[in-house]
Every structure is written in structure tokens, then in C-alpha cells.
């Protein structure tokens, strides 16, 4: 066995209907973009495996709200064990920005980081999507100062202007979120290990696979 450490992170992608959540995921994971995207039936999340550094592999699960849960009625299954999230709005439709606060409040009220990581809010990145349309005369660029203030006031760790169509800033946004979480994990690593050592009361899964599979964290 080499010294490669593997991390499994679950990220949520939320935002109002039609803000491009699925396109962002498709672009990031499969590097494809289509104007006429139909939701994938029967799949919970898209998985991207990143060779982060020679020693670190990150397996990233991106959970879409499946369009169907469009009224914000997500189950606990969706939220639980998520370690980070993107809130997406559409720069050409200002009303979708109004939903941003609601989504952030929803995330904060339903998920927190593991107890061993301090139990605070999970890091959330704000995405101002469809920036490619600005060039075509729809909507306008976000004001960086205003956006910085907005993020600070509402607890977003950072914002990015993205385009799934032109593949702008999506990798950067994901990298920022992964970096943040790796940082939090490293910060709490010692305590986390101690906790795991004490906590030998393992949870059970009803699964035909190996019962002792290690979920989340590092293997």
C-alpha cells in the first residue's frame, strides 16, 4: 500500500429552478454542456475523482436537488453528511438571487459539520451562473464589492461568476470548496482520530457489501 490518502466528500448543489445546477454538475464532472438537458433518472449524485496531489485523492459526490424537489422540500437523505454546498443563481434573472438567502438559511438550519470538526455551518460557495449571457446583453456583472459584503453578511465563504456553457470558473469554485474542507479536516485531524478511537460503537448499514466500509473522512 502506498501512502495515498483518499477522501470522500459530499457536496450539495442548490438554487432556484432553472439556474443551471445540473449544467454546472455535468460540465464539472463530464465536461459536457447541452442547452436541452434532461434530468438523469435514477441517479443520486455525480462522482468526480480528483488526484488532488501525489498523496491525496478526493472522491467528490455532487448531489443535485433532482429538480423534482423543486419546492425546497428535500429529505434528510439529501442533506445528511454533506460537507459543503454551492448555492446557484442566474445572473440574468434577479429574482433567483432573492432565493439565495432562503437556500443558505435552509442549509444552515438542516446541516452542520461533524461534531468532531466543531459542528459549525458547512462551508457554502455562491455561484453567479450563466455569465456567458451577460456578453449577449442579458443581466449584468455582479459588483465585486457588493458581492463580497453580501457573502460576508450571509456566511458564504466566497462567490464566483460562472458559466457552464463556457466552462468559466467552475473548476476554481470546486477547488476553493475542496481546499476549505481539506483545511477544516486537517485542523481537526488529531481530535478526529481520538474521537474515532473512542467511538467504537459502529453504525450499521443494511447493505450487501462489506459492513465495515468506512464512510466519509479518510480511509
Partner 1 sequence: MNLDQTEFDYIILGTGLTESILAAAIAKTGKSVLHVDDADYYGGKWAAHSFGDLLKWIRTQRLDGDIANKETNDAPPSLNGLSIDGKHAVNVNALKARNESIRHVSFFCYPTESDNITEDDKSTLYSDTNILLDMNRESPLDYARDTIVKALSDRFTNPSKITKEAIEFEVDQLVLGFPPTSSFSLDIKDSIGRVQTLKEALDASRHYNFDLSPKLLSCRGEMVEVLIKSGIGRYLEFKGLEESYVFEAESQTFDKVPISKEDVFSTDTIALIDKRKLMRFLTLAMSDEIDPSILETYGNQPFKTMLEEKFKINGKLQMAIIYAIALVHDDAEKVSASEGLEKTRAYLKSLGRFGRCAFLRPLYGGASEVAQAFCRACAVHGGIYMLNQPVDKFLLNEDRSQASGIVTRDGQQFTSKWIIGSMEYMNEEWISKQAEEESTRWTSRAILITNEPPIISEGSEKENIRFSVFPPSEQDDIAKPIFALQLSIESMSCPRNKYMTYLSVISDEPERDAKSELEKAVEKLIKNSEHIQPLFLLYYKQRSQESSLIATDSIPKNIIACSDPDELLDLDEPLSEAQKVFIRCCGEDEEFLPAPEVDPDLEE
How far is residue 71's CA from residue 56's CA, in Å, rounded to a whole number? 37
Q: Where does this chain touch partner 1 (CB under 8 A) — which range of 125-133, 160-168, 190-198, 206-214?
A: 206-214
Contact region for partner 1 (CB under 8 A) — 69-77, 89-97, 140-148, 155-163?
69-77
**Between the CA of residue 138 and those of 15, 87, 130, 150, 216, what are the distances in Å?**
19, 21, 10, 22, 41
Query: Considering the complex, what minimum distance in angstroms separates the CB of residue 210 from partner 1?
Result: 12
C-alpha count within 13 angstroms, C-beta hemisphere, residue 12: 29
Size of the chain in residues: 219
Which range in 66-74, 91-99, 124-132, 160-168 contacts partner 1 by CB under 8 A? 66-74
- The reply on whether position 98 binds partner 1 by CB under 8 A is no
203 lines the binding site for partner 1 (CB under 8 A): yes
Q: How far is the CB of 17 from partner 1 (least distance, A)?
A: 10
Classify 217 in phi/psi space as left (phi over 0), alpha (psi -120 to 50) or beta. Answer: left
Q: Tell me the DSSP string of 86-131.
A: EEEEETT-HHHHHHHHHHHHHHHHH----GGGT--PPPEEEEEE-G
- Which neighbouring-strand residues pair with 87? 14, 126
**DSSP at 132:** G
Is 76 among the residues that bind partner 1 (CB under 8 A)? Answer: yes
Our finding on whether 43 is near partner 1 (CB under 8 A) is yes
Torsion of CA 9, 48, 44, 86, to 10 degrees: 60
| Rounded Cα distance, 41 and 39, in Å | 6
**Least distance to partner 1 from the beta carbon of 187, Å?**
21
Q: Which range of residues in 46-54, 138-146, 162-170, 190-198 is near partner 1 by CB under 8 A?
A: 46-54
Whichever of 62 and 142 has its CB closer to partner 1, that residue is: 62
Among 48, 93, 158, 165, binds partner 1 (CB under 8 A): 48
Which residue in 75, 95, 145, 212 binds partner 1 (CB under 8 A)?
75
Residues that bind partner 1 (rule: CB under 8 A) add up to a total of 33
How many Cβ atoms are within 10 Å of 125's Cβ, its own excluded?
Answer: 23
Q: Is 191 in the site for partner 1 (CB under 8 A)?
A: no
Site residues, partner 1 (CB under 8 A): 29, 39, 41-49, 66, 68-71, 73, 75-78, 80, 109-110, 115, 201, 203-208, 211
Amino acid at each position: 500500500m502506498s501512502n495515498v490518502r483518499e477522501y470522500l466528500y459530499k457536496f450539495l448543489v442548490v438554487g432556484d429552478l432553472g439556474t443551471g445546477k445540473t449544467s454546472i454538475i455535468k460540465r464539472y464532472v463530464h465536461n459536457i454542456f447541452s442547452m436541452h438537458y434532461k434530468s438523469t433518472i435514477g441517479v443520486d449524485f455525480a462522482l468526480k475523482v480528483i488526484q488532488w496531489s501525489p498523496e491525496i485523492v478526493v472522491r467528490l459526490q455532487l448531489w443535485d436537488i433532482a429538480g423534482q424537489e423543486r419546492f425546497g422540500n428535500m429529505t434528510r437523505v439529501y442533506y445528511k453528511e454533506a460537507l459543503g454546498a454551492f448555492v446557484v443563481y442566474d445572473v440574468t434573472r434577479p429574482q433567483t438571487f432573492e432565493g439565495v438567502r432562503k437556500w443558505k438559511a435552509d442549509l444552515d438550519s438542516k446541516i452542520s459539520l461533524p461534531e468532531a470538526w466543531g459542528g459549525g455551518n458547512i462551508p457554502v460557495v455562491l455561484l453567479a451562473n450563466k455569465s456567458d449571457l451577460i456578453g449577449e446583453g442579458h443581466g449584468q456583472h455582479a459588483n465585486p464589492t457588493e458581492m463580497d459584503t453580501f457573502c460576508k453578511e450571509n456566511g458564504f465563504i466566497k462567490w464566483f461568476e460562472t458559466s457552464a456553457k463556457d466552462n468559466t470558473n467552475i473548476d476554481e469554485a470546486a477547488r476553493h470548496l475542496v481546499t476549505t474542507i481539506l483545511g477544516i479536516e486537517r485542523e481537526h485531524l488529531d481530535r478526529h482520530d481520538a474521537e474515532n478511537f473512542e467511538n467504537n460503537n459502529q453504525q450499521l448499514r443494511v447493505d450487501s457489501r462489506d459492513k465495515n466500509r468506512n464512510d466519509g473522512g479518510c480511509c
